[in-house]
Structure 1
Amino acid sequence: MTAVLPDAYTVRPPRLEDAQAVLELVSDYNTSVVGFADYTLDDAQDELSEPGFEPETDGWLVFDDGRLIGYGSVFGKGDHRQLDLDVVTMDPVVERFLLDRIERRAAELATEHGHVAVQVDIVNYQADKAREERLAGYGFERGTVFHRMRIDHDGTVAAPEVPAGVTVRRGAPDEASRRAAHDVLNASFAGQFGFSPRSFEEWQDSHESFSAFDWSQLTLLEVDGEAVAMRTSTNQFVEDENCGYIGHLGVLEKARGKGLAKFLLRDQFALDAAAGRSGTILHVDTNNPTPALGVYLSVGMQATLVMEVWRRQVTTA
């Protein structure tokens, strides 16, 4: 049954100037569940201005007498076979309304991109059991579990020794270096849960629009002149936790087992400590087909927050 909002509620697409209201809504919800905001104004602005996000068709704000009480969005990457959705509200009726809107839009996107069906994914804090039950009632199933991993830095962290035969390229000032990183990313993450390969242009535009990133934060590892590993870091956790963040760390299959991932991790720890950061954060899929979780634990990282991705299929019919 389609949810119907009370007559007093109004709905419209989001605008960039709504970022502060979205921040307050998301922060209130997150604090009620995990005890802290876990969101910043930059996060809200970046989300509302992400290249490829069309607010007029893919975003919704719900107001009660001028007060924002609900926010929903749907966003696709690459071929749009998998869509990321976001719904934030304290009101289950508003939640159902937004999910209904998103489902209809997801079916439209499937048709627009030539798919019979698409997967839609939503992230839920594991601590929010009530929402978990509601998602199951809406037909979602648990897809995977992500851990937020963190290591704290107390003073100087020694820079690791570069593995034999490896050349470290710091920064990606030109198209050639960016394309090399893009190729490694797509190859190393192929088949992992929720990963949608993006064209180089789409990937580059996304990074250039992201306020917490610049190309100096991309590192490549080369062996015999070939890029075999990459790492991107961002400042998205600096404001709220004074931590560096590893966005992606990928190693080509043929180069695994040589300590490259551990080097990139320890190298980032040293860089963050030298910059005065309190720690380094990353997210890991606990069902990752590579032994990523074990690698992160082995270098001293610990899980600080657990999130689950819930997934359902939406068909065009």
Structure 2
Amino acid sequence: MTAVLPDAYTVRSPTLEDAQAVLELVSDYNTSVVGFADYTLDDAQDELSEPGFDPTTDGWLVFDDGRLVGYGSIFGKGDHRQLDLDVVTTDPVVERFLLDRIERRAAEIAAEYGHPAVQVDIVNYQADTAREERLGGYGFERGTIFHRMRIDHDGTVPAPAVPAGVTVRRGAPDEASRRAAHDVMNASFAGQFGFSPRSYEEWHASLENFSGFDWSQQTVLELDGEVVAMRLCNDQFVEDENCGYIGRLGVLEKARGKGLAKFLLRDQFALDAAAGRTGTILHVDTNNPTPALGVYLSVGMQATLVMEVWRREITAS
């Protein structure tokens, strides 16, 4: 049954100028659930300006007498077989309305890309059990659980020894180094939950748009002259937690078991501590087919927040 908003409510597409209002809405919701905002103005601006996101078709703002009470969006990457959606509101009627809009748009995207159906994913804080129950009622099923991992730095952190035979390349001054990291990322993350391979051009444009990233934050490892591991960091958690953030860390399957992931982790810990960061953060899928969670725990990281991804299949229109 399609939700109908009260007569006084209005709906329109978002613009970049709405970032502050979206920030306030999301921060209020997050604080009510996990006790802190977990969101910044840069986050809002980056979402609204993400290359490939068309706010006129893929974003919605709901207002009650001029006050923003709901925000919804849908975003696809790569072949658009899997779509990420976001709905933020404290009003179940507005939530249902936004999910209806998103469902219709997802069906359109499936048809546009020639898919019989697409998967739509939404992230929910595990602490929000009421929303979890509603998502189940909307036909979503729990897909996986992510942990936000963190390690705190108290003073200097010693730099790890470089594994034997490995060459460390810091920064990405040219296209070749960026393409090498992109290739390793797509290969090492293939088949993992929610990962959609992106063309080099799409991936590059997304990073160029991200306010918290620059190419000095890319590191690759070479073994016998071949790039076999990569790490991409950014400043996503500097403003609110003064922590470095490891956005992507991947090792080719043939190079696993050589301590490369642990080296990249400890290396970043040392870099973050030297920069005055109080910690380093990353996210891990607890159902990852690689033993990633165990690796992170083994270097001293601990889970600080639990999030669940809920998934639903939507057929093409």
Would the TM-score normalized by the shorter structure come out above 0.5? Answer: yes
Within a 5 Å distance, the mapping from 1:50-89 to structure 2 comes to 50-89=50-89
2:285 maps to amino acid: D
1:128 maps to amino acid: D
CA distance in 1, matches of 2:43, 2:120: 21
Q: Deviations over 1:229-282 (max 9, x none)?
A: 000000010000000000000000000000000000000000000000000000
Q: Deviations over 1:146-178 (max 9, x none)?
A: 000000000000000000000000001110000
TM-score (norm 2): 1.00
Give the match for residue 26 of structure 1. Answer: 26
CA distance in 1, matches of 2:188, 2:267: 20
CA distance in 1, matches of 2:268, 2:179: 22
Q: Displacement, 1:120?
A: 0.0
Which consecutive unaligned segments of at least 5 residues does structure 1 have? none
Within a 5 Å distance, the mapping from 1:100-111 to structure 2 comes to 100-111=100-111
Give the match for residue 285 of structure 1. Answer: 285
Give the match for residue 204 of structure 1. Answer: 204
Give the match for residue 141 of structure 1. Answer: 141
CA distance in 1, matches of 2:287, 2:172: 31
Give the match for residue 242 of structure 2. Answer: 242
CA distance in 1, matches of 2:159, 2:42: 30
Q: Displacement, 1:225?
A: 1.0
1:293 maps to amino acid: L
Within a 5 Å distance, the mapping from 1:43-192 to structure 2 comes to 43-192=43-192
Q: Deviations over 1:84-143 (max 9, x none)?
A: 000000000000000000000000000000100000000000000000000000000000
Where in structure 1 do 4 or more consecutive aligned residues deviate above 6 Å?
Answer: none
TM-score (norm 1): 1.00
Q: Deviations over 1:167-198 (max 9, x none)?
A: 00000111000000000000000000000000
How many residues align? The count is 317
The SS at the match of 1:239 is: helix
Q: Displacement, 1:293?
A: 0.2
Which consecutive unaligned segments of at least 5 residues does structure 2 have? none
* CA RMSD, 1 decimal: 0.3
The SS at the match of 2:168 is: strand
CA distance in 1, matches of 2:169, 2:93: 51
CA distance in 1, matches of 2:213, 2:307: 24
Q: Displacement, 1:316?
A: 1.2
2:177 maps to amino acid: S
1:11 correspondence with 2:11: yes
CA distance in 1, matches of 2:221, 2:150: 23
CA distance in 2, matches of 1:49, 1:173: 25
Q: Quote the sequence identity (%).
A: 88
1:219 maps to amino acid: T
The SS at the match of 1:60 is: strand
Q: Deviations over 1:65-86 (max 9, x none)?
A: 0000000000000000000000
